[in-house]
Chain A
Amino acid sequence: MDFFLEVLTGGLLAGLMYSLVAIGFVLIYKASGVFNFAQGSMVLFAALTFVSLLERGVPFWVSFAITLLAMIVLAWAIERIVLRPLVNRPPITLFMATLGLSYIIEGLAQALWGAQVHGLDLGISDEPLEVGGMLLSQFDLFAAATAGALVLVLSLLFNKTRIGISLRAVADDQLAALAVGIKLQRIWMVVWAVAGFVGLVAGLLWGARLGVQFSLSLVVLKALPVLIIGGFTSIGGAIAGGLIIGASEKLAEVYLGPMIGGGIENWFPYVLALLFLLVRPAGIFGERAIERV
């Protein structure tokens, strides 16, 4: 039983790392109704910028601030150059734009900082800590606390303020949002900047775990089943989805793995997501599409 609990808790904590990436997608989805293909590139761009500054001897918090500033400038440029001309276009157009954007951001990161693999040490030791008889990774605990704090701040921002309702309005109908005086451009800029910030946090934690390299942009693939299970429009859903994916993949690996030969951790989340799509296509907390025909 103790072993089961340890696997479960370890899985839940690891799942929050997926949630961190998934939250970035949720933000953009809430504001424009599209899956932002460039989120992975933004994670990579942020992590690479941060680690390159750090390696050049810039202090930790200064690097963090500069990278954050870079993400805001990036959001501003994306709104100006890519999104503004696409007002009132169908979502698929916006989606294709994010697809192109992902290559541009990746290319930009590479052009600026080169293509080497960087190690990143956040100064958090990865030695296991004994909590209530279970051995848990300190790093995972730290990541979980970060995810918790992020969710708290974001839900304050999006549930308590006008920004939340404006976001949903913009995602539903851009023309109408403009007509009631919502500053579409500013909403987009804010959301992309916040998504950039979330990308930075995710990039640092994942970068510290995997090393900062181009495959970092692939961690977003693990965010996909998280989003399908939790729902694309809910930050809480991203957390719930992450916990479910994290716990189930670790438990499946430990208990089902030996029966079918192991290594199932890598594909199990996708199977779970497929099952969810059959039962509840909008995810646990997602808004169900309403269509009158």
Chain B
Amino acid sequence: MAAIPLLELQDISLSFKGVKAINDISFTVGQGEICALIGPNGAGKSSLLNVINGVYQPDQGVIGFNGKSYRKMQSHQAAVHGIARTFQNIALFKGMSVLDNVLTGRNLKVKSSWIEQAFNIGRAPSDESTQRQKAEEIIDFLRINQWRNSIVGTLPYGLQKRVELARALAAEPRLLLLDEPMAGMNSEEKAEMSSFILDTQREFGTTVVLIEHDIGVVMDLSDHVVVLDYGKKVGDGTPDEVRKNPDVIAAYLGTKH
């Protein structure tokens, strides 16, 4: 964790109608790190991710990103700063093709105005080909080429998860938030997804924050683990440190039976 911090959460609290979902959480994610958020269901992991990308605004606390501090994020603003994400329940554009879905990920990279696009003049032609080329690169990278023209809603679950990752990567994010990228997958699919995440980190230097329940996968994949329980942070460190932390064992990994 010696790396320069990219994301610094300070005293973040969030409540829904009096129920505290997140209670005074602070932690730091270094540049280029893979950080896993673990904890039982309802521990506040997804809420925290939603705070980082601006779906929820925290009641308290500061979000530091890339050297600047924000009292709160807006979804659009988060995207502009280079935060991309996937969702727990897959939020793809189901009626559109794989390619079109990935192209929407390029949304903020489009330089030409809509008037130029309408008449295919000025910056529009080169812009269009750049976006397509980048989208194709990502599609190759995640090996979803053979489904590039399939309508996303018709694809099996595991592939949809991969398309969602592709759309997030198309934005060339600095920070990638993955909400249970391997939920509902078998061990083979999990291994494949893990290798895609590692490749992403190596190839693009992307910082990753992910939520995952499979402890085996988490320990193999991540450089850094943050453990939440009832909205509080109970552990923070390398996988080995977390594994030995008695609070974490009590809260999450369970006592010996």
Contacts and interface: CB of A to CB of B under 8 A. Distances in A.
Interface stretch (B64-72, B102-110, B210-218, B239-247): B102-110
Contacts of B108: 180-181
Interface in A165-200: 165-166, 168-169, 172-173, 175-183
Interface string B92-122: 1111100010011101101000100111100
A202 B114 CA distance: 25
B154 interface: yes
A163 B107 CA distance: 10
A127 interface: no
Contact of B151 (A157, A163, A177, A290): A290
B248 interface: no
Interface in B42-77: 53, 55, 75-76
Given A176-B87, A180-B105, A181-B79, A287 B100 contact: no
B166 to A, nearest CB: 12
A91 to B, nearest CB: 14
Given A166-B104, A181-B76, A183-B76, A290 B154 contact: yes
Contact of B104 (A182, A287, A292): A182
Contacts of A176: 87, 91-93
A125 interface: no
Contacts of B87: 175-176, 179
Contact of B94 (A157, A181, A290): A290
A160 B118 CA distance: 5
B167 interface: yes
Interface in B217-243: none
Contacts of B118: 156-157, 160-161
B84 interface: yes
Interface centre among A172, A177, A287 (most CB of B within 10 A): A172
A169 B120 contact: no
B91 A290 contact: no
Contacts of B120: 160
A162 interface: yes
Contact of A292 (B79, B85, B154, B167): B154
Contacts of B38: none
B153 interface: yes
Interface residues of B, number: 33
A267 B77 CA distance: 51
A181 B171 contact: yes
A166 B114 CA distance: 12
Given A156-B118, A162-B107, A179 B93 contact: no
B80 interface: yes
A130 interface: no
A291 interface: yes
- The prevalent SS among residues of B at the interface is helix
A230 B201 CA distance: 47
A165 B94 contact: no
A160 B117 contact: yes
A291 B79 CA distance: 29
Contacts of A291: 153
Given A178-B76, A179-B91, A169 B104 contact: yes
Contact of B75 (A160, A163, A178, A292): A178
A241 B206 CA distance: 50
B151 A179 contact: no
A250 B155 CA distance: 45
B114 A179 contact: no
B79 A179 contact: yes
Contacts of B55: 175, 178-179
Nearest to A290: B153
Contacts of B153: 290-292
A161 B107 contact: no
Given A180-B84, A181-B79, A162 B171 contact: no
A264 B218 CA distance: 69
Contacts of B95: 168, 172, 287, 290
B103 to A, nearest CB: 7
Contacts of A172: 92-96
B110 A162 contact: yes
A182 B153 CA distance: 21
Interface string A132-173: 000000000000000000000000110011110110110011
B93 A169 contact: yes
Interface string A104-117: 00000000000000
18 contacts: A157-B118, A161-B114, A161-B118, A162-B107, A162-B117, A166-B104, A166-B107, A169-B93, A172-B96, A173-B94, A179-B85, A179-B91, A180-B107, A180-B167, A180-B171, A181-B79, A290-B94, A290-B154
Given A173-B93, A176-B87, A179-B79, 10 more contacts: A156-B119, A160-B117, A172-B94, A175-B91, A176-B91, A179-B55, A179-B75, A180-B79, A181-B107, A292-B154
